Amino acid sequence: MEPIGILGGTFDPIHFGHLRLAEEAADALNLETVRFIPAGLPYHRDSKATGAEHRLVMARLAIADNPRFMLDAREVQRDGPSYTVDTLLELRAELGAEIPIVVLMGTDAFSRIATWHRYRELFPLAHIAILTRAGMPADWLNAVDSDLRKELKGRLITHERVLHDGPGGCIISVPMTPLEISATNIRNRRRAGKSIRYLLPAPVLDYIESCSLYTV
């Protein structure tokens, strides 16, 4: 069975960095699809996010021309904070116990995963692909929290085919092409009256302008 990729995030706004990361991960891991899941109430973010409905529309516009991408609105539609463990439990109930699910995340997110809600329950529910920047030291995982290092033992794999053999439990590191694009920079540029063209898809830019987002 081809694995399903899960890419969660605030997507405030979604940009080419998100899209390229998902495309490369899908190729590297032979994913059937990548589900983009905008967070409804991102509990880990300090500043107030743009309204969930705006972020949902922007994500839908961004992925519309890629048949391998799909939008999953469950966290926006859910009351309360967005917890990954709840999303994975829902997906397991819908997809069954056998289909491989791969949660895609960057190194910063993975290094903080021990602070996530019921994080130990994530591992049996899904595989985790840590998307690293090309050129990162091979031993960067040695810097993570000691309790998290214990979870890594026996889970780290080096070949993507292993992800196809079971529903979850493995962790793989995948180098990505670095794109120096961030949602924070896009918002700051927009507020400063600077161009954000070519940092995100044209339909997303048109939506931002039509709704006067990120102007204050």
Q: What is the pTM of this model?
A: 0.92
Average pLDDT on 118-132 reads: 94
The yes-or-no verdict on residue 151 having pLDDT over 90 is no
Domain ranges for the chain, please list them: 4-178
Q: What does the pLDDT look like over 53-100, one tens digit per residue?
A: 999 999 999 999 999 999 999 999 998 888 999 999 999 999 999 999
- Please tell me the predicted confidence (pLDDT) of residue 140: 66
pLDDT tens, 184-199?
Answer: 999 999 999 999 999 9
Pick the more confident residue, 138 or 195: 195
Least confident of 14-18, 58-62, 90-94, 155-159: 155-159
The class that CATH gives domain 4-178 is alpha beta
Share of the chain above pLDDT 90, in %: 74
CA angle at 184 for the pair 112 and 195, rounded to the nearest 5°: 155
